[in-house]
Structure 1
Amino acid sequence: MAAQENYATFRAAIVLLQETVDEHVRGFIAKAEDADIPAEAWAVPDADELKSLCDKAVREIEEFTKDARKYEAELVAKNWRV
């Protein structure tokens, strides 16, 4: 039973990460896109680069989620021992 609870907590953390990226990171990128950054400011990625990095992170999270589902039964059956 504890292994199932651990897996549920693990999945909830992944969902929270996805929600954070969707709500906060993309919101920050939108603000950065609209910001008037002075030329003498630190060099930072532009909005397109940030969007690309965010999209890559989302794809990685989705792939990680697929892997987690694939190994769910094994993780639970072995009580998270690999």
Structure 2
Amino acid sequence: MALEVVNKAAQERYATFKSAITLLQGVIDDQVRGTIAKVDDSKLPADAWSLPTSDDLKSLADKAVVVIEDLTATAKKYEADLIARGWRV
């Protein structure tokens, strides 16, 4: 009986984790990239503070996406292991 509760809790935590990753990917794709697209480097005065260019921001967003994809791949491998063990952690 207690094992079933632990298994359900592990499944719920993993589902929450997957939802958070999906939400993060959506935010990067929709909002972050949309904001980066609005950056206009030509309007910056020469004496302005040093700010990352839109290309720098795009590069950082791409790196973040790669890290998220690696995390997702690792999570899928771990999910297969959890399923094989009956969600026992």
TM-score range, shorter chain: 0.7 to 0.9
Q: What is the correspondence of 1:1-82 to structure 2 with a 5 Å cutoff?
A: 1-33=8-40, 36-75=43-82, 77-79=87-89
* 2:38 match: secondary structure: helix
CA RMSD of superposed structures (Å): 1.7
C-alpha distance in structure 1 between counterparts of 2:66 and 2:50, whole Å: 26
C-alpha distance in structure 2 between counterparts of 1:37 and 1:47, whole Å: 12
Distance 1:41-1:75 versus aligned 2 partners, 3 A rule: farther
1:48-72 deviations in whole A, cap 9, x for unaligned?
1111111111011001000001001
The corresponding residue for 2:5 is none
* Gaps in structure 1 of 5+ consecutive residues: none
Larger radius of gyration: 2
C-alpha distance in structure 1 between counterparts of 2:82 and 2:17, whole Å: 11
* Gaps in structure 2 of 5+ consecutive residues: 1-7
Instruction: Provide the TM-score with structure 1 as the length reference.
Output: 0.84
Q: Percent identity?
A: 56
C-alpha distance in structure 2 between counterparts of 1:4 and 1:49, whole Å: 38
C-alpha distance in structure 1 between counterparts of 2:29 and 2:36, whole Å: 11
